[in-house]
């Protein structure tokens, strides 16, 4: 692993089409379509929403979620350019022991090229001190990268308000993964 050229990549909302895959699961479960997570939470109520989320995480549904079609070639190209690729996720592996293996198998079965699957937290900064950039869809989950002046690329979602982060000079918004290729060597 070349830890001098490390890139971390989130899964949900970057390598897949979250939150739509989650909303699809809710629709299958409840026979009702929701346009946003907030709408689902409001109409289902906290308790039912949480129960469905628990089933989503334990059902194996995530193993069949479609991959972002650009992701396999993108991660392969990063490796060819000499980068260490770390998949950094907020998925609650500590609460769902089978979720980490399911996630690892999903990445492999979808031809995602990576060096490690890690829990997204500030410990990544100690383990991989030369992180060049991070890719995510949620700013709150990338705040610790921004605070260390690491470049963060956000693929925006319509259901998230990104205001309040303008002060970070290392924050960039992109529409698709391949745009990052313009910022790396």
**pLDDT tens for each residue of the chain, 185 residues long:** 555 799 999 999 999 999 999 999 999 999 999 999 999 999 999 999 999 999 999 998 989 999 999 999 999 999 999 999 999 999 999 999 899 999 999 999 999 999 999 999 999 999 999 999 999 999 988 999 999 999 999 999 988 888 888 889 999 999 999 999 998 98
Q: Say if CB 126 and CB 46 are below 8 A apart.
A: no
As a whole number, the mean pLDDT across the chain is 94
The predicted model scores a pTM of 0.93
Domain boundaries, the chain: 6-16+66-183, 20-63
| pLDDT tens, residue by residue, 9-46 | 999 999 999 999 999 999 999 999 999 999 999 999 99
CATH of span 6-16+66-183 = 3.40.50.1000
Residue closest to 84 by CA, chosen among 124, 34, 28: 124
């Amino acid at each position: 692993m070349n830890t001098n050229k490390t890139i971390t990549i989130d899964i949900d909302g970057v390598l897949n089409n979250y939150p739509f895959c989650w909303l699809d699961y809710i629709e299958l479960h409840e026979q009702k379509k929701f346009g946003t997570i907030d709408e689902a939470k409001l109409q289902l109520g906290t308790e039912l929403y949480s129960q469905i989320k628990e089933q989503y995480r334990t059902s194996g549904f995530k193993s069949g979620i479609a991959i972002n079609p650009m992701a396999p070639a993108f991660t392969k190209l990063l490796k060819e350019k000499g980068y260490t690729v770390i998949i950094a996720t907020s998925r609650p592996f500590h609460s769902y022991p089978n979720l980490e293996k399911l996630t690892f198998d999903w990445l492999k079965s979808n031809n995602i090229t990576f060096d490690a699957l890690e829990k997204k937290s500030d410990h990544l900064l100690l383990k991989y001190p030369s992180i060049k950039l991070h890719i995510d869809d949620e700013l709150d989950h990338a705040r610790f990268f921004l605070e260390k002046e690491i470049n963060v690329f956000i693929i925006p979602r319509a259901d998230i308000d990104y205001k309040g982060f303008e002060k970070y000079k290392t924050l960039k918004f992109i529409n698709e993964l391949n745009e990052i290729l313009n910022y790396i060597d």
